Structure 1
Amino acid sequence: MFEPRLALASLSGEADADWARAAADHAGCAFLGGIALDDATRAAAREMVTGRDRSEFLPEDPVAFVDAQLAALADAPLRPAFNVRSATLGPLERAATVCERHDAIIEVNAHCRQAEMCAAGAGESLLRNLDRLAEQVRTAADTGADVSVKVRAELDGVDLPAVARRIEDAGAAVIHVDAMDSEAVVGAVADATDCFVVANNGVRDRQTATEYFEYGADAVSVGRPSDDPDILRTVRTAADEWFGREVAQ
């Protein structure tokens, strides 16, 4: 899916092409975004900016923005990806078509926990409605793009291994797991699916990265410290050593 096995996790309103390029020497993949694609999620994003002082990407044409940002990474030594939020299928399909053209991964955001985004029908609300999540994955996958789904652990009533099986059946290639404080869930997800498993949350050093690899993660992602080259260098080294050892064995 990508090498080295270190990804940069999306940071709302901050993770753009310049951000990805600055860390390209260390990472194999960068998840740009997230970006709201349709009217409902864009209205939610505007509310979040106004009421919560959050950063959000709110270009006039979000799909054109995805296209331009991916084009800006055409010569970068990493695989680009885009984390997207949508309550409807048309804008998602158009964004996925753009990602396919750039050989980029499109990531369905089933992770955002902001009340406004969940009320719009995106984010973690999708984890409680697997039919809608599977429909989004299928729509994106039918374009030929590689599809990732970003999910969150520790939601009452949500069985992440079951989610992993459902999205794999719908065509997902990647599951990006924010483990919260439940690192072992990565192992349960890895056992449940053949999807490429990216583990996220608290990845700061060799120990945390190696723990996720021991649970069966295929890669790890770094969020807030993605602008810290020392952390990225340390995690990249841990990933290279782990998978180098795995290949040797």
Structure 2
Amino acid sequence: MTDVRVALASLSGEADAAWAEQAAAYADTAFLGGIALDERTREAARRMVERDRTEFLPADPVSFVDDQLSELADVALTPGFNVRTATLDPLREAASVCRDHGAILEINAHCRQEEMCAAGAGESLLRDADRLGEQVEAAAETGATVSVKVRTEVHGVDLPALAAAASDAGADYVHVDAMDSEDVIADVVAATDARVIANNGVRDRATVSEYLEYGADAVSVGRASDDPDVLARVAAATRAWFERHPREVGP
């Protein structure tokens, strides 16, 4: 499994190979995407674009995943690809591509846009642990390394229990957007055998330390991922924290 300490979180319609490459000096992993894989989620993405959202909408999304990962073949980081789908066959195809590139397949259970949730992807998966488990199993069965991107503060969702179920289904990572509930990271860490990546507001030594002290294995940078000053601060703070608090990397 990749030794992730600093990751870049996907930004829909923006996080491509060039975006990942420019941050390779600071991050271990970059999650490209998100990308809508099946017709239901692609139609949702088209409707989102019509109201000024930014989305990747290539003619062939799986080939797009392949091409983007190929561009990073000689870049010194492990790429991942954040994907959204309501059906399993395209997920298996994308996961197989990620496996072949040594990349991480990240299932998006995070997007809260109404169109994507109505299509059966994104945050709707947080409310349906069985469907999320099916997606994790389908991706993991290909041999790909699997991450699940989730968010806190979704009414009625027991995130630690959901993370444990995702891990049981085969997820290697749980990538948590902590929103304004940073301490939930400790509960997720306690509940799951998966490695936990903490996201939201990661900018400096203080925010890095907060998440790592809650037990996160890594931190990720989202909106500031194109700011080299922020990335340099986060990378230095993370490296320094683990030098003071050495921790074994999970299997």
Tell me which interval the TM-score lies in, with the shorter structure as reference length.
over 0.9
- Residue matched to 2:104: 105
**Count of aligned pairs between the two proteins:** 248
Unaligned runs of 5+ in 1: none
- Residue matched to 1:141: 140
1:10 aligns with 2:10: yes
Q: Secondary structure at the match of 1:203?
A: coil
Query: Residue deviations 1:192-217, cap 9 Å, x none?
Result: 11111000000011100110000000
Q: CA deviation at 1:244?
A: 1.6
**Counterpart-to-counterpart distance in 2, 1:167 and 1:4:** 19
Is the Cα–Cα contact under 8 Å of residues 4 and 217 in structure 2 kept in the other structure?
A: no
Is the Cα–Cα contact under 8 Å of residues 4 and 239 in structure 1 kept in the other structure?
A: no
TM-score under structure 2 length normalisation: 0.97
Is the Cα–Cα contact under 8 Å of residues 5 and 219 in structure 1 kept in the other structure?
A: yes
Q: Secondary structure at the match of 1:136?
A: helix
**Counterpart-to-counterpart distance in 2, 1:3 and 1:55:** 31
- Residue matched to 1:190: 189
Query: Residue deviations 1:171-224, cap 9 Å, x none?
Result: 000000000000000010001111110000000111001100000000000011
Is the Cα–Cα contact under 8 Å of residues 209 and 220 in structure 1 kept in the other structure?
A: yes
Aligned-pair identity (%):
67
**Counterpart-to-counterpart distance in 1, 2:4 and 2:57:** 31
Q: Secondary structure at the match of 2:40?
A: helix
Change (3 A) 1:58 1:228: same
* RMSD (Å), alpha carbons: 1.1
- After TM superposition, what 4+ stretches of structure 1 lie above 2 angstroms from structure 2? 1-4
Q: Secondary structure at the match of 1:241?
A: helix
Q: Secondary structure at the match of 2:150?
A: strand
Is the Cα–Cα contact under 8 Å of residues 4 and 240 in structure 1 kept in the other structure?
A: no
1:239 aligns with 2:203: no
Q: CA deviation at 1:36?
A: 0.1
Q: CA deviation at 1:4?
A: 5.8
Q: CA deviation at 1:245?
A: 1.6
**Counterpart-to-counterpart distance in 1, 2:17 and 2:146:** 19
TM-score under structure 1 length normalisation: 0.98
- Residue matched to 1:157: 156
* Aligned counterparts, 1:29-108, within 5 A: 29-51=29-51, 53-108=52-107
Is the Cα–Cα contact under 8 Å of residues 33 and 81 in structure 2 kept in the other structure?
A: yes
- Residue matched to 1:123: 122
Question: Aligned partner of 1:197: which letter?
Answer: V
Query: Residue deviations 1:214-235, cap 9 Å, x none?
Result: 0000000001110111100000
**Counterpart-to-counterpart distance in 1, 2:23 and 2:200:** 18
Q: CA deviation at 1:3?
A: 4.4
Q: CA deviation at 1:248?
A: 8.4
- Residue matched to 1:216: 215
- Residue matched to 1:177: 176
